[in-house]
Structure 1
């Protein structure tokens, strides 16, 4: 069984907002209806009822995503260096790491069987004409 922290991380990585003091269960989804009706309920039910082998996969996802998130934050340590001796900073490091992080977050959504949440978006490009 996942811990509350693991479930919170799974929701966050999937792109959904924090739960706060709202009870999530199989009978209530009203607080999140504006986000995506029934998705919170489905995701919460699945997180609470993983099979043992799915729990192992979920733990692997959470560990990998935690590491990728740390890598993104650590990449900001190099933003002040463009070139030093032979080493040349990858100017795209943060965006490359964010892309990889988002890819794995979407993989988690696929594993859970829920669409990416509002903070993750649909992954497409939007264009506007002026």
Structure 2
């Protein structure tokens, strides 16, 4: 049987590189590992560290195609980040002007969770530890 160790990275293509870079580094607080400009592709690639465990690769391309990103659309449903205290996490990002849905309770685990969107509308979830 195939043995998969862990998720290595999550790749996101953004429509406005500087706006998304600000969102993921300044609002969500991910640390930049490396940033490169690939002239032949007219594309930036930004590697972001997620708590020394995972990595997000943020890409820019000229005129990327649109994709449905509602939580119930076919394909990737959402990107979820675990937080220690959801009320504190929500307070921090709403202070930066990010709209966050009301906090809900997972009916199976009893844990708090909520959704918001990145600059391109990618659904992001905070799920309390």
- Answer yes or no: same fold by TM over 0.5: no
> Structure 1 or 2: larger helix share?
1
Q: Report the structure number with the largest CA radius of gyration.
A: 1
With CA pairs under 8 Å and 6+ residues apart, which has the higher RCO, 1 or 2? 1
Q: Taking structure 1 as the reference length, what is the TM-score of the superposition? A: 0.30
